[in-house]
Amino acid sequence: MVRVKLYVMITAVLVFMLSFTTSAFAWTHGQFNATTDACAGCHVAHAAEAPKLLKTGPTQTEFCFLCHGDGGTSAPYDVKDGFTVAGGTYQASTAGGFVRQFAGMVGGLPTFTSVTSRHNVWGLVGETGYEIDQSVKVHQIPGGTGTDQIGGSGFVCGSCHDPHDGGATPSGNYSLITGSATSPNPRLLRREIKVVDPALNDLYVCFGMETMGTYTNEGVVSGVYRVARYAEGSTRWCGACHNKFQTDDADTNPGEGHAVFLYDMWRHPMELHVIRPPDFNDTIATGTPLEADQPGAGNKILPHVACLTCHRAHSTTAAMDGWAASWPRDLDLSGPGATSALLRMDSRGVCYNCHGAAQYNCWADARIDCSLCHPYTGGGDGHHSVRPSGKCNLCHYNLWSPGGPS
């Protein structure tokens, strides 16, 4: 009994210590100054439990879950269980949770669905569940060719996110956040990644953000924001690692946007324009969200296919059946693929949503005549030299309004 009481007391002290420090955790990703306490929120100089002098571990995954999971209450963004919360209101994560995904409220309580595939950050065993094994490290990149693959602890949260880069606050609902040489990317996404040769140091993305409300922790109030639209840049950003699939690279693949034979296999074209089929689902929640350039005159924008159109960034709960449950992979990976591959829709719904039964957005699509907007002009690009009356809205439509495409 004495030993049990001692364990309870030690546990209570640890919980108190963590809760005492969590107020710093939520606001440490960029608000630094000469007398900052933010460094101490994550790091300790001489008694760290994890690499990079992180205070807890033993894996970086578990450390990040301390705030962005059920290990603490200091952040509104839960990437373990796949939700964002503001003022008691839950919304499903647009990227997905690494273990579960928020599935709605039942009886006033949140419910969750297990993921079926995920980016395998350090320690997570398999494609589903929450088994942590410190020895599980992913060093080889599917779809990557670089000689400088991921070393050290392998693929970790910090491989994609820069926890020190800070970020801009959206100016209002449905506002764009754009990374640049002088401005951080949204969601702390790195602006430089070196895992294939050479390093890419100008990886900028643009996301549209919506305001969910506010979040209060230890008396500190912060705005809570959610990705509402992928606007630009994900193909090149993801291609920094998965460069075999980056078929929009104009330096190596002239004729951007058309299917190419790249690294000994045929690859789906990226950055190509899409004409919406009937009943096309373009929502981030359940469909295939097209990327769309920043709004121009009349708020009409040209949508195109990018990596995040078909795939989620962290995980998916999609189910794969029949032919979709096994698929060929690159020759440098052993065996066929047998996961949901971060796809947004069940089986091959992402294919059908854009193409139907080989009816739409292919050479058989009678609606498509590239020469209407891109006529051959003997060497010039001819872009928009022809603008047929009444047909512009086939490609150009409003993706940005809260009401959806129009």
Q: What is the pLDDT of residues 370-401, one digit of tens each?
A: 666 655 554 444 444 444 444 566 566 555 44
Selected residue with higher pLDDT from 2 and 331: 331
Q: Is it the case that residue 244 has pLDDT exceeding 80? A: yes
Are the beta carbons of 309 and 290 closer than 8 angstroms? yes
CB 183, CB 82: distance < 8 Å = no
Domain locations along the chain: 1-75, 76-394
Q: Give residue 126's pLDDT band: very low, low, confident or very high (50, 70, 90).
A: very high
Q: Which of 20-29, 98-107, 242-251, 387-396 has the highest mean pLDDT?
A: 98-107
- The CA–CA distances, whole Å, from 254 to 244, 262, 274 equal 15, 12, 20
Cα–Cα distance for residue pair 65/74, rounded to 1 Å: 11
Residue 16's pLDDT is 37
**Percent of the chain clearing pLDDT 70 (strictly above):** 75
| Residue 78 CA to its chain's centroid (Å) | 14
Q: What is the band of 301 on the pLDDT scale with cuts at 50, 70, 90?
A: low
pLDDT at 27: 56
Please tell me the predicted confidence (pLDDT) of residue 385.
Answer: 45
- Write down the number of H helices and E strands in the chain: 7, 14
Q: Answer yes or no: is pLDDT of 10 > 70.
A: no
Residue-level pLDDT at 253: 41
Q: What percent of the chain has pLDDT over 90?
A: 43
What does pLDDT average to over the chain? 80
pTM: 0.84
CA 373 to CA 151: how far, in whole Å?
Answer: 46
Q: What is the pLDDT of residues 13-53, one digit of tens each?
A: 333 344 333 333 345 687 788 888 888 889 999 999 888 99
Q: Is the per-residue pLDDT at 180 higher than 90? A: yes
What is the model's pLDDT at position 171? 78
Question: Quick one: pLDDT at residue 70?
Answer: 75
